[in-house]
Amino acid sequence: MTTHEYDVVVVGAGTGGSYAAATIAEAGYDVVIVERKDAEEAGHIACGDALKGANNFPEEIPKSRLEPAFTNTAVDHGRFEAPRQDVELDIPVPGELAVIDRKKYGELVIEGAVDAGAEVHYDTVVKSLKQEDGRVTGVTAVKRGTPVTYEAEMVIDGAGALSILQDTADFSEATFDTNVRFSQFSSAYREIVEVDEPVDWYDALVFKPTKRSAGYLWYFPRTPTEINVGLGFQMSEEPMKLVGDLREDLQQREEFENATVKDKLGAALPTRRTYDSGTAPGYIAVGDAAAHVNPISGGGIAGAAYSGKYAGQQAIEAIESEDYSEASLWEYNSRVMDHFGGRYAALDVYNIFSTAYEISDLTALAGAIPGRQISEALYSGSSGVSPLLALRTLWRARGHLDTIRDLYGTKQLADRLLDHYEDYPDAPAGFDAWKDQRDAIMDDIYAETGAEAKY
């Protein structure tokens, strides 16, 4: 068996892993990215290709390096389409937005990590974490059929949604979030489709619920004639025939007549709040591996980039202090929660709300609430509502008054939850008490919405 020794082992060459490796390598430490795909396929990931916050990347791999992957910077809003009714709503998206060539982007972030000094070991499938006295000390893997071991001071898990590393580890004595179930994830499938004529909605990200509330479709234009089309469903619900259901919707759209499919790929993605804690002794999880994804839109590239940076900086501090305990790594959790984790938790409340209602009710709400308020809720986790706006909304959705009432009650609870996340503890000692208070708020949310408990 071959054994490698590094200061830090990063599992997965995605956004979070690459930014973590670049951060560590720039500080002069030995870091390796262990990637299961070969050099040709690395970076080829199933994604909607929409990039929120395109103007705001960590400096370790700056935006200027990634811009060759930006194929559509004209997009500036989302468009909601109802599956059965003649409802179409444009929703402004704050900040810079872009649609990207995800494979090209993936190649560029790996290139950025390598140029910073990181190594990449391709064709290497990680099997499990190595632990000694509760501390993670490396990983075991197989490279082209040959067992290999990596020993390190720190391991950073960027292995994606439902990371296998978390299934093989014993985190029973750590704060790391083990309250993770399939029902908190979506299964998704996407195709890159070439159409004959430019689409009319080249400047929009098109979203469409399926006939069942658990499913959703997207149409994101990479270019005027190259469209990322996809379909996903909550794993808590009856499985959908992803390929067939997507094909059925495509056949109903005139712009996709005679279209050519250029690429196909599937994946799982988190539709849950950020992990309560992404740390264990000697170990940090980043990106999808810690649910750093907007649970409403599925967007996660920017969050993954910053989580990678924060993890890299925390790993450096741990190495320099020779302290790999959770107390030493805790600042990572605090930075994630302060930057986006609390906001994502508030957004998850609306995700929970949506599971308790029929598509007709949700469509009525979408048609009644002004796009600006929907935008604020989707991207900040909260939205201001004036008395006049409330009256207008009630009138427009007067056939769904119970749902409107429940929505505004849910909004108050989402605001309460967001406030609670602002008090995220600055050390593990206050973690259990903070979780108890958060869970009490969640109980009120389930009671208000009538939804089944998600956690």
pLDDT at 296: 82
pLDDT at 421: 98
The answer to whether the CB of 186 falls within 8 A of the CB of 232 is yes
- Poorest-pLDDT segment among 43-52, 216-225, 435-444: 43-52
pLDDT category, 364, cuts 50, 70, 90? low
Structure tokens belonging to residue 388 = 């006049």
155 strand-pairing partners: 9, 283
Q: CA angle 331-173-163, nearest 5°?
A: 70
Q: How far apart are CA 232 and CA 212, in angstroms?
A: 11
* Top-tier CATH class for 77-95+183-270: alpha beta
Structure tokens belonging to residue 270 = 């988190």
pLDDT category, 387, cuts 50, 70, 90? very low
Q: CA angle 424-429-430, nearest 5°?
A: 35
Which has more confidence, 115 or 215? Answer: 115
The answer to whether the CB of 24 falls within 8 A of the CB of 31 is yes
Domain 2-71+100-180+272-339 belongs to what architecture? 3-Layer(bba) Sandwich (3.50)
pLDDT category, 376, cuts 50, 70, 90? low
Structure tokens belonging to residue 338 = 């302060």
pLDDT at 185: 93
Q: What is the DSSP string of 285-341?
A: E-GGGGT-S-TTT---HHHHHHHHHHHHHHHHHHHHHT--SHHHHHHHHHHHIIIII
pLDDT (mean) for 11-40: 98
Contacts of 321 (CB under 8 A, 6+ apart): 328
pLDDT at 395: 39
pLDDT at 343: 94
Structure tokens belonging to residue 244 = 């067939």
Query: Which residue type, as a one-letter code, is found at position 326?
Result: E
Percent of the chain with pLDDT over 90: 70
Q: How far apart are CA 319 and CA 413, in angstroms?
A: 41
pLDDT at 351: 85
Percent of the chain with pLDDT over 70: 87
Query: Which residue type, as a one-letter code, is found at position 200?
Result: D
What tens digit of pLDDT does each residue of 242-298 get?
888 899 999 999 999 999 999 999 999 999 999 999 999 999 999 999 999 998 878
Structure tokens belonging to residue 310 = 């924060």
Q: How far apart are CA 19 and CA 240, in angstroms?
A: 35
Average pLDDT of the chain is 89
- Poorest-pLDDT segment among 64-73, 241-250, 365-374: 365-374
Structure tokens belonging to residue 119 = 């190594």
pLDDT at 239: 76
pLDDT at 70: 96
* 205 has a pLDDT exceeding 70: yes
Question: Which residue, among 116, 120, 108, 125, has the nearest Cα to 43 in the 3D structure?
Answer: 108
The label of the residue with tokens 């004595």 reads 173
- Poorest-pLDDT segment among 66-75, 155-164, 403-412: 403-412
- Poorest-pLDDT segment among 227-231, 357-361, 421-425, 444-448: 357-361
pLDDT (mean) for 230-246: 84
List where CATH 3.30.9.10 sits in the chain.
77-95+183-270
Structure tokens belonging to residue 190 = 């996407």
Q: Is the dihedral of CA 366, 374, 57, 328 positive or negative?
A: negative
pLDDT at 403: 61
How many residues comprise the chain?
A: 455
List where CATH 3.50.50.60 sits in the chain.
2-71+100-180+272-339
- Poorest-pLDDT segment among 108-112, 157-161, 241-245, 435-439: 241-245
pLDDT at 350: 86
* 135 has a pLDDT exceeding 60: yes
- Whole-model pTM: value is 0.91
What tens digit of pLDDT does each residue of 292-342 get?
999 887 889 999 999 999 999 999 999 999 999 999 999 999 999 999 999
Which has more confidence, 92 or 399? Answer: 92
* 359 has a pLDDT exceeding 60: yes
